[in-house]
């Protein structure tokens, strides 16, 4: 439900603000298309969190300055004074000391990151299931800074499809087949089949070098480092030395074609670990040809191009605790004030995109082509990059 508030400072003219909550569905007019990217018009949103035990005893301003590092200290002072930050639904002084479990509301002007302006095309539509071809760079469902710029949000805005229940996930930078149930019961059926090992998955990737002609099975544990946003593959050496960390993982690979420089490879993950296909291809000596995170053993420094796509995806909204541990400043999106109202307190305005997105992102050459289970199969066409001619 939308809620109206009035606010202003000193002699400035007060402005009417319409605050949104997750109950407000995305609409077609919420999107702006520019320079090959889909943007979301900035909107007012209420973020809610509850005081953790380790936060208790801090002043409201110190709490935000220490835990929510996306904005300067002075912003939080002003936000508390004018009521954009409230405790248990009430305005409080900047010296207010928070207590465990109290509800904190942060009302802010939300700027979502842009995604590639590619269609979310419907492949198959039936009473209980919808399948789509997910474009790269678009997350499946709301997470971090993304809410409207998601597959679920776009389908609701452009096709009036809701509710939808994704029965599997694709990483934001991965494209291809995505299956969405149209009821919770249908979603549960799919998930039970997946958990029972009855569902087979197939992806294709464009990798470096001439991949071996015969089927190659990579059986190597996946150890995911959340801080770095990167996985590593580990195998037990023949002498049985140091124990292997991570989770058991297995992927089958089969070469489809090669030109000696690149190969198109069919990938069949037997397990489902974070970045499994990407790190197993790196382990096999044939990383995905445009995968900046796994082309070498070192994390590629892309500071001259803005934040890398993987790091950007890992970062949470500036109104949430920082997870990326790096300076998220880079070139700003072009001034776009003609498309939306500028908020005088917003630390992103007058730019359309939030800070930290340089616009150099591209999708991975990794694409989901097929899911199959007991009595059903869904497929997605190959992308253009799958042709080596």
pLDDT at 154: 97
Tell me, what's the pLDDT at 361?
A: 74
Is the pLDDT confidence value at 329 over 70?
no
**Residues 119-155: pLDDT tens digits?**
999 999 999 999 999 999 999 999 888 999 999 999 9
* Per-residue pLDDT at 97 exceeds 50: yes
DSSP 242-271: SPP-SB--EEEEEEEEE-SSEEEEEEEESS
Give the number of other Cβ atoms within 10 Å of residue 175's Cβ.
26
Residue 44 pLDDT greater than 60, yes or no = yes
Contacts of 185 (CB under 8 A, 6+ apart): none
Mean pLDDT across 109-125: 94
The mean per-residue pLDDT over the stretch 353-378 comes to 89
* pLDDT one-digit tens code per residue, 262-310: 999 999 999 999 999 999 999 999 999 999 999 965 434 433 233 344 4
The mean pLDDT value of the chain amounts to 85
Per-residue confidence (pLDDT) for residue 278, from 0 to 100: 96
Report pLDDT for 211.
97
**How is residue 312 written in tokens?**
């950007």
Can you give the pLDDT at residue 337? 54
Q: Is 171 a catalytic residue?
A: yes
Q: Contact, 234 vs 219, CB < 8 A?
A: no
- Give me the helices (H) in the chain, please: 60-67, 73-82, 151-159, 184-195, 276-283, 309-314
> How far, rounded to the nearest angstrom, does the alpha carbon of residue 89 sit from its chain's CA centroid?
30
| Nearest by Cα to 61 from 93, 88, 101, 83 | 93
Residue whose structure tokens are 């109104």: 319
Residues 6 or more apart whose CB falls under 8 angstroms from that of 92 comprise: 60, 80, 86
User: In this model, does residue 203 exceed pLDDT 70?
Assistant: yes
| pLDDT exceeds cutoff 90 at 226 | no
Distances in Å between the Cα of 312 and the Cα atoms of 152, 322, 330 are 20, 12, 12
Contact 169, 140 (CB under 8 A): yes
Question: 157 and 148 in contact (C-beta within 8 Å)?
Answer: yes
If pLDDT is split at 50, 70 and 90, which confidence band does 238 have? low
* pLDDT for res 372: 97
> For 246, left (φ over 0), alpha (ψ -120 to 50), or beta?
left
Contact, 161 vs 155, CB < 8 A? Answer: yes
Q: What is the CA radius of gyration of the chain?
A: 23
What six digits make up the tokens of 123? 């492949």
Q: Is it the case that residue 167 has pLDDT exceeding 50?
A: yes
CA dist 361 and 356 (Å) reads: 12
Residue 229 confidence class, pLDDT cut points 50, 70, 90: confident
Which of 13-27, 177-191, 217-231 is predicted most confidently?
177-191
Return the top range by mean pLDDT from 35-44, 229-238, 289-298: 35-44
Which tops the pLDDT comparison, 226 or 135?
Answer: 135
- At 207, list the tokens: 């990798």
Residue scoring higher pLDDT (52 or 308): 52
Q: Which tokens go with 2?
A: 């939308």
For residue 76, give the nearest of 52, 94, 101, 97 by alpha carbon: 94
DSSP reduced 3-state for 47: strand
| CA separation, residue 306 to residues 36, 126, 281, 337 (Å) | 17, 42, 26, 23
The catalytically annotated residue of 30, 88, 119, 171 is 171
CA dist., res. 112 & res. 13, Å (int):
27
Angle at 314 between CA 362 and CA 184, to 5 degrees: 95
User: CA nearest 318: which of 111, 173, 89?
Assistant: 111
Give pLDDT, residue 308.
42
The answer to whether 87 and 98 are in contact (CB under 8 A) is yes
pLDDT reported for residue 339 = 74
Q: Which two tokens stand for residue 138?
A: 């678009």
User: Which residues, including other chains, have CB under 8 Å from residue 74's CB and lie 6 or more apart?
Assistant: none
% of the chain beyond a pLDDT of 70:
82
- Helix (H/G/I), strand (E/B), else coil: 193: helix
């Amino acid at each position: 439900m939308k809620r109206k508030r009035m606010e202003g400072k000193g002699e400035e003219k007060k402005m009417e603000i319409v605050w949104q909550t997750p109950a407000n569905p995305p609409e077609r007019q919420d999107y702006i298309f520019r320079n090959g990217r889909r943007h979301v018009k900035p909107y007012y949103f209420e973020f809610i969190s509850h005081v953790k035990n380790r936060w208790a005893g801090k002043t409201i301003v110190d709490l935000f300055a220490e835990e929510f590092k996306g904005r300067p200290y002075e912003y939080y002072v002003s936000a508390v004074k004018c009521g954009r930050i409230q405790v248990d639904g009430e305005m409080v002084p900047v010296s207010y000391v928070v207590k465990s479990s109290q509800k904190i509301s942060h009302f802010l002007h939300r700027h979502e990151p842009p995604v590639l302006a590619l269609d979310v095309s419907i492949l198959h539509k039936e009473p209980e299931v919808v399948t789509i071809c997910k474009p790269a760079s678009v997350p499946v469902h709301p997470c971090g800074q993304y809410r409207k710029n998601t597959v679920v949000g776009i389908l609701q805005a452009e096709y009036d499809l809701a509710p939808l229940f994704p029965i599997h996930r694709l990483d934001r930078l991965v494209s291809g087949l995505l299956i969405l149930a149209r009821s919770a019961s249908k979603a549960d059926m799919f998930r039970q089949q997946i958990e029972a090992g009855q569902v087979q998955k197939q992806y294709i990737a464009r990798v470096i070098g001439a991949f071996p002609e015969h089927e190659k099975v990579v059986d190597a544990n996946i150890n995911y480092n959340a801080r770095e946003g990167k996985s590593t593959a580990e195998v037990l050496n023949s002498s049985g030395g140091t124990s292997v960390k991570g989770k058991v993982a297995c992927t089958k690979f089969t070469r489809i074609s090669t030109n000696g420089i690149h190969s198109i490879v069919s990938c069949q993950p037997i397990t489902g670990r974070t970045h499994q296909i990407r790190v197993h291809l790196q382990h096999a000596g044939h990383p995905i040809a445009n995968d900046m995170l796994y082309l070498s053993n070192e994390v590629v420094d892309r500071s001259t191009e803005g934040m890398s796509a993987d790091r950007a995806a890992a970062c949470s909204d500036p109104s949430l605790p920082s997870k990326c541990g790096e300076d998220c400043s880079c070139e700003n999106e072009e001034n776009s004030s003609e498309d939306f109202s500028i908020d005088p307190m917003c630390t992103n305005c007058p730019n359309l995109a939030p800070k930290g997105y340089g616009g150099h992102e591209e999708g991975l050459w990794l694409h989901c082509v097929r899911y199959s289970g007991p009595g059903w199969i869904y497929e997605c066409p190959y992308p253009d990059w799958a042709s080596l001619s």
